[in-house]
């Protein structure tokens, strides 16, 4: 018998429509599993149980009256960097502890409008700065596949909550791979939309030219369903594009014959784990058997992505986080004098990684260094973007690994920040170029840890990567596998 938490969003909607289950039952099942597992996995910063059950009851009543909204009665979780009206939003930082926004982020509001039930807010690296969720100001979230290992980051909480069936789906944010990498580590589907496809209004900014909210789900169809709800122009966000939103579900035909898939040689170099490479190449071979045409492509400026990203991202972080000083935003530690108050407030409110990135960004933007570092990084960013544009003139989709390794152990990379930054080396260039990408489960290594296949598409080409990802997913059962921890909790 299938437990309610094992249903996909699509399956649950069908049962809700047929009156086989109620939203209250579905929501309560997830709350029960949260109660059993969250002490071990440390995923939720805030559980809004009472509100969720009220929303579920309202959804059941609305459905009884003929309402059939796209996500009516579906219990979801949100990364705690997206503003939720009346519900604590911390960005994983002590400096925002107790902050209750007076408005909802646009993507949250659109999910509410579609009928979402909000289970709560999940953990992340502080201000989305990290690749392991070890930088949270509250606690370290754990990977459901191996609790001694990280779930990835910065949307590690969002990846873990879906993998552990403690929510039917979640929103994360992707600044340099922050939904795709935890998607790979946790064996869930994770979609980074094109920059400008989903409104950033209400997203507490890390890197304003890089951040993009995206869905994390158990299946590609569920991701397409969520994207269809949150995508589209928002007049409250000046970076939101007035571009038509396709019917993503209609694109999931299962047929990829004739599609051209590029394999970039630069993504298969030194440092790539042998088991990861084999799983990804096997997945690409499967796509070829399905009728896709596979060809080699070149992205010559790939190797410059890491330094380019960490100059631009830290510079933007330095500017965005200047407001959290205990005077304009955040709790104040009053030391009498202004500068002493600033130092105390920011010194205790920010964690080590956030301070490191603020310092790096401030240096890059300082007089005498702006042109040499930040200006040069923006010029290289243009070259990286042009590499992708030229590649997409030849192919529909690019296929590659998501991360060089599977999930690593806690503390393995924390002593060396550069080693941690390298965890993003295969994902950051997509953010620099503003294109779309998805991670879809494609296997496990010898330690039984998940591996993800990364599919990249041109800007506003989400339907292409969803089509390929869905076709691959249908040929395998990787997504159906459940962590032992969860199976035991379900009895």
Task: Report the alpha-carbon distance of residue 327 to residue 452 in Å, rounded.
Answer: 43
Provide the 10 A C-beta neighbour count for residue 288. 12
Task: Report the alpha-carbon distance of residue 39 to residue 184 in Å, rounded.
Answer: 23
Three-state DSSP state, 176: coil
CB-CB contact of 439 with 186 (8 Å): no
- Which pair of structure tokens corresponds to residue 202? 């209400």
Q: Pick from 135, 71, 141, 142: which is nearest to 109 by CA?
A: 71
CB-CB contact of 448 with 178 (8 Å): no
CB-CB contact of 187 with 450 (8 Å): yes
Query: Residues 93, 154, 155, 318: which is the catalytic one?
Result: 154
Q: Sign of dihedral through CA atoms 6, 28, 99, 137?
A: negative
Task: Report the alpha-carbon distance of residue 425 to residue 429 in Å, rounded.
Answer: 8
Q: Pick from 183, 126, 154, 166: which is nearest to 41 by CA?
A: 166
Task: Report the alpha-carbon distance of residue 300 to residue 384 in Å, rounded.
Answer: 8
Query: Residues 93, 132, 178, 439: which is the catalytic one?
Result: 178
Q: Which residues pair with 264 in a beta bridge?
A: 297
Decide if 178 is catalytic: yes
Three-state DSSP state, 202: coil
How many Cα neighbours within 13 Å face the side chain of 483? 27
Task: Report the alpha-carbon distance of residue 14 to residue 20 in Å, rounded.
Answer: 9
Task: Report the alpha-carbon distance of residue 71 to residue 59 in Å, rounded.
Answer: 10
Q: What share of the chain is helix, strand, coil (3-state, %, to 5)?
A: 45, 15, 40
Residues 6 or more apart in contact with residue 228 via CB below 8 angstroms: 70, 245, 247, 248, 249
Residues 6 or more apart in contact with residue 178 via CB below 8 angstroms: 128, 131, 153, 154, 155, 172
CB-CB contact of 26 with 186 (8 Å): no
- Which pair of structure tokens corresponds to residue 65? 């009256």
Place of tokens 């596998």: 481
Decide if 79 is catalytic: yes
Decide if 209 is catalytic: no
Provide the 10 A C-beta neighbour count for residue 291. 12
For 319, counting Cβ atoms within 10 Å of its Cβ (0-12 exposed, 13-18 middle, 19+ buried), the class is middle
Q: What is the total residue count of the chain?
A: 491
Query: Residues 79, 121, 192, 464: which is the catalytic one?
Result: 79
* Host H or E run for residue 443: strand 436-444
What residues act catalytically? Answer: 79, 154, 178
């Amino acid at each position: 018998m299938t437990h309610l938490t094992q249903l996909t969003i699509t399956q649950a909607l069908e049962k809700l429509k047929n009156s086989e289950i109620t939203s209250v039952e579905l929501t309560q099942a997830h709350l029960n599993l949260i109660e059993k597992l969250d002490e071990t996995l440390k995923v939720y910063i805030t559980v809004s149980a009472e509100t969720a059950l009220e929303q579920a009851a309202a959804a059941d009543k609305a459905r009884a009256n003929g309402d059939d909204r796209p996500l009516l009665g579906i219990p979801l979780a949100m990364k705690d960097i997206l503003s939720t009206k009346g519900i604590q939003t911390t960005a994983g930082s002590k400096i925002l502890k107790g902050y209750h926004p007076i408005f909802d982020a646009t993507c949250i509001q659109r999910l509410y409008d579609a009928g979402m039930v909000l289970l709560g807010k999940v953990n992340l690296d502080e201000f989305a700065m990290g690749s392991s969720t070890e930088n949270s100001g509250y606690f370290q979230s754990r990977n459901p596949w191996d609790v001694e290992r990280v779930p990835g980051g910065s949307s590690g909480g969002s990846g873990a909550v879906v993998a552990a069936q403690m929510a039917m789906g979640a929103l994360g944010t992707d600044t340099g791979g922050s939904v795709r990498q935890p998607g790979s580590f946790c064996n869930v589907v994770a979609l980074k939309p094109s920059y400008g496809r989903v409104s950033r209004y209400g997203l507490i900014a890390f890197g304003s030219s890089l951040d993009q909210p995206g869905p994390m789900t158990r299946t590609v169809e569920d991701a397409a369903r969520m994207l269809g709800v949150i995508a589209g122009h928002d007049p409250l966000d000046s970076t939101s594009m007035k571009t038509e939103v396709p019917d993503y579900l209609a694109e999931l035909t299962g047929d990829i014959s004739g599609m051209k898939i590029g394999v970039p040689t630069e993504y298969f170099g030194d440092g790539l784990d042998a088991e990861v490479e084999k799983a990804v190449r096997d997945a690409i071979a499967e796509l070829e058997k399905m009728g896709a045409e596979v060809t080699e492509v070149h992205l010559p400026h790939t190797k410059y992505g890491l330094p380019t990203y960490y100059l631009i991202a830290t510079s933007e972080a330095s500017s965005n986080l200047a407001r959290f000083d205990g005077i304009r935003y955040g709790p104040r530690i009053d030391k009498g004098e202004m500068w002493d108050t600033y130092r105390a407030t920011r010194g205790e409110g920010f964690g080590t990684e956030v301070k490191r990135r603020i310092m790096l960004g401030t240096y890059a933007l300082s007089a005498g260094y702006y042109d040499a570092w930040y200006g040069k990084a923006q010029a290289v960013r243009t070259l990286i973007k042009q590499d992708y544009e030229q590649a997409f003139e030849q192919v529909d989709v690019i296929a590659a690994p998501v991360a060089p390794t599977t999930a690593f152990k806690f503390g393995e990379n924390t002593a060396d920040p550069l080693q941690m930054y390298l965890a993003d080396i295969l994902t950051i260039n997509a953010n620099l170029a503003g294109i779309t990408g998805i991670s879809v489960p494609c296997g496990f290594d010898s330690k039984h840890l998940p591996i993800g296949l990364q599919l990249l598409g041109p800007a506003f080409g989400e339907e292409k990567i969803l089509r390929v990802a869905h076709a691959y997913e249908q040929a395998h059962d990787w997504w159906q596998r459940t962590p032992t921890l969860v199976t035991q909790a379900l009895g």
